[in-house]
Structure 1
Amino acid sequence: MTQSITPQEVFKIMNERDRFSNWLGLQVDKVDSGYCKLHYTVKEDMLNGFERIHGGVLFSASDSAFAFACNSHGIITVALDVSITFTKPCFAGEVLTVEAQELHLGNKTGLYDIRTTNEKGELVCLFKGTAYRTSLPVQ
């Protein structure tokens, strides 16, 4: 299938409609075919009862990077299966980078590796996503 829309155009369409990612304060640095890199600052209201980042925030930011990467081909693509492993705590004020990379793209599914790192380059969490590609174009 020939792509008639660029990854950057897909991102622009998605980002204008994605109120949740914007509410989280995600700043997208780069979007390309099967790829997304973004960053965000951990805010006080993202902390759990132990004053560490809430796992749901890490999951959500990873899921957004996953969505931007897997939809970059111009076909509406949704999560089929995801999992996350938390490896390091984070605290308010830290800047986290999330990088989503396509590992495999099939006719109907794709596999993605999404890694969140802190400012020292240490792995904070590892998110794996399997995506289902619909037959609908991103518009």
Structure 2
Amino acid sequence: MYTAEEIVNYMMANDAFSRWLGIEVDKISPGHSRLIMTIREEMTNGFHIAHGGIVYSLADSALAFAANAHGKIAKTIQLTCQYVQSLFLGQQLFAEAIETTRTRKFAYYTIHIYTDNQVVATLQGMAYISEKDWIIKSTSSGM
């Protein structure tokens, strides 16, 4: 069985989008993750604020890492978002995914996105948990 860190490092190595976002894993354990990301110019929309999809994507990665850190392959199947305030170029974001309930097949999460200790978005999500254990391959792809 692999550690949470080994699984998430493997996921990141094969996740071009999370790498493009500039996500850094700050903390990881089964059912919990804390990620850091900074808003770049190409992440802003016509109003010069962060595109909502950026916040959503950060939360999706946080949920995926937390769910998979248990050692079973898990995939996000539902995620809803409530935006609290706008975000701007250069702001550093933190995403914290916390598992609230886990059954054999499903896990439920609350994800808070915040900057400077102020929550800017809250998401609720659900992951499907497969029966497949993580197998980390020395060559990339094929999760």
Q: Which of 90, 94, 115 pairs up with 1:93?
A: 90
CA distance in 1, matches of 2:100, 2:20: 28
Q: Give the corresponding residue for 2:119.
A: 123
Listed one character per residue, the Cα deviations across residues 105-139 of structure 1 (whole Å, up to 9, x for unaligned) are 111100001100012x1111111111110111111
**Deviation, structure 1 residue 15:** 1.1
**Deviation, structure 1 residue 99:** 0.5
The one-letter amino acid paired with 2:51 is H
Q: Which runs of 4+ in 1 moved over 3 A?
A: none
Q: Give the corresponding residue for 2:129.
A: 133
**Given the two structures, how large is their TM-score scaled by the length of structure 2?**
0.92
What is the number of residues matched between the two proteins?
135
**Deviation, structure 1 residue 13:** 1.3
Unpaired runs of 5+ residues, structure 1, are none
State percent identity of aligned pairs.
35
Unpaired runs of 5+ residues, structure 2, are 136-143
CA distance in 2, matches of 1:80, 1:57: 18
The one-letter amino acid paired with 2:19 is N
**Deviation, structure 1 residue 29:** 0.5
CA distance in 1, matches of 2:84, 2:121: 5
**Given the two structures, how large is their TM-score scaled by the length of structure 1?**
0.94
Partner SS state of residue 89, structure 1: coil
